[in-house]
Homo-oligomer: A and B are copies of this chain.
Amino acid sequence: MFYEDEIITFLLNSSKEEILERIEDIHPADILDAINDFEGDIVSILRKLPDDYIALIIDQAENDEKYNLLSLFTENRQKKIISEMSSDELVDLLGNIDEDKKEMIILQMDKEEAEEVKELLGYAPDTAGGIMATEFLAIKENMTVGQTLQYLQKEAPSAETPYYLYVIDDKEVLKGVVALRDIIISSFSTSVTEIMNEKVLSVPAEMDQEEVGHLFEKYGFLVMPVTNGLGVMLGIITVDDVMEILREEHTEDLYRLAGLGEGEKLAGSVGNSIRSRLPWLLVNLVTAIMAAATVSLFESTISRIVALATFMPIVAGMGGNAGTQTLTMIIRGIALGELTLENSKQVLMKEIYVGMINGVLLGLIVALLGYLWVGNPVFGFVIGMAMFLNLIVSTISGYFVPVTLKKLNIDPALASGVFVTTVTDVLGFFFFLGLATILIHALI
């Protein structure tokens, strides 16, 4: 472990040979952090590092930064670095650049590798096929433990994760998995079919990456094989990539709930932030105008009882908050697969009861407050009743909005918040100001 400044100092002041000797003690993620924060000439630093290490640094970089790093090198070195990169990371790099540049890079690769990468690029980037790597250890059914050990001595260093060996038949159909520890504790003459686990769980190449993530979370896997419709083994997905995917999905959920665009970065440019946020604020403006239009229907009532305007923020604020509570429970339940067909009715009924009970309690508090503030018990009744009704509406819309969006195949995190607050604002004002209009003679 080095600190960033030490890393930079070491790399700047050491010869290529000195660096080669000590580089394996430094994690590529630390070098990436160090050069990202370093404001000097990073090219001359990177040129001192060996090709396989550069490939590891590019592996660590964000998808949209990978190509920028690669393009710092001459075409000749690029070719060498690419041949050291793992297939899944190379595909992530190629998926984020123009067609022209992509073609250029693929032309530089040797034929076999180019074929493999083209095949991987054929899978949608957010599916099992799009995130898998093709560097796995496969052994044939008829091999013994002794033959497997010989094979391992040759192949293990290039595999993504050498702890599991996949057993395939002549047609490359996945037959089972052997753990490395079982290889070690078996005699050389044992057949691999004797020690393999036939119940190996694989994912189809088309499976959504978030679903893959849930399988890893549920079963605690370190790696999972990916197969096609015929059971042919295509690649593996490793837990470190899954963690990255789950983190991205989490961030996406949070951002979408808040109305932030996907690409926005904390230390990004002002223009980037404007492009990320302004569209959401404009959508929100439309919904705010709907709330305003509701209020405008009752302007003559407000002009006669101006205290109504004072209590408007309470009705809208409380309804929005209660709606967001339900909404968040439901969105999280959908994301984690906890909201099922069996329990959906029970969850909805629970939400309605919660809305009613919170509505009664908060309605009574607000009614008392309204009575004391304005000095009229009917005013207390109006605000209390509006609060009660709005809290029930908030839990019902907090349930149905994300569930409906999900059914329409729209990410519920994306637009639910806007819809729910629109419903609670519009109906909240409608209940409050409508009741006041009906009971106006008792209020003046």
Contact = CB atoms under 8 A, between A and B. Distances in A.
A25 interface: yes
B270 A295 contact: no
Given A185-B152, A254-B254, A299-B306, A240 B220 contact: yes
A92 interface: no
A29 interface: yes
Copies of this chain, whole number: 2
A277 B324 CA distance: 11
A288 interface: yes
A406 to B, nearest CB: 14
Interface string A274-285: 100110111011
B185 A163 contact: no
A292 B338 CA distance: 39
Nearest to A315: B288
B343 A267 contact: yes
A260 B325 contact: yes
B162 A181 contact: yes
Contact of A218 (B29, B291, B369): B29
A119 B29 CA distance: 34
Contacts of A309: 295, 299, 302, 308-309, 312
Interface in A306-333: 306-314, 316-318, 321-322, 324-325, 327-330, 332-333
A288 B270 contact: no
B156 A185 contact: yes
Interface in A343-381: 343, 346-347, 350-351, 353-354, 357-358, 361-362, 365-366, 369
Nearest to A343: B267
A393 to B, nearest CB: 15
The A contact surface, by secondary structure, is helix
A16 interface: no
Interface stretch (A95-103, A120-128, A226-234, A242-250): A242-250
Given A153-B185, A243-B217, A295-B309, A266 B333 contact: yes
B362 A324 contact: no
Range of interface residues on chain A?
A: 35 or more
Contacts of A266: 329-330, 332-333, 338-339, 343, 347
Given A259-B321, A289-B369, A295 B280 contact: no
Contacts of A281: 318, 321-322, 325, 358, 362
A47 interface: no
Interface of A: 1, 25, 27, 29, 37, 149, 152-153, 156, 162-163, 180-181, 183-185, 199, 201, 216-222, 239-240, 242-244, 246-247, 250-251, 253-255, 257-260, 264, 266-270, 273-274, 277-278, 280-282, 284-285, 287-289, 291-293, 295-296, 299-300, 302-303, 306-314, 316-318, 321-322, 324-325, 327-330, 332-333, 336, 338-339, 342-343, 346-347, 350-351, 353-354, 357-358, 361-362, 365-366, 369, 421, 425, 429
6 contacts: A25-B199, A246-B247, A257-B257, A266-B330, A284-B318, A291-B317
Closest 10 CB pairs of A and B: A220-B240, A258-B328, A288-B317, A266-B333, A291-B313, A309-B309, A303-B306, A296-B310, A288-B314, A25-B199
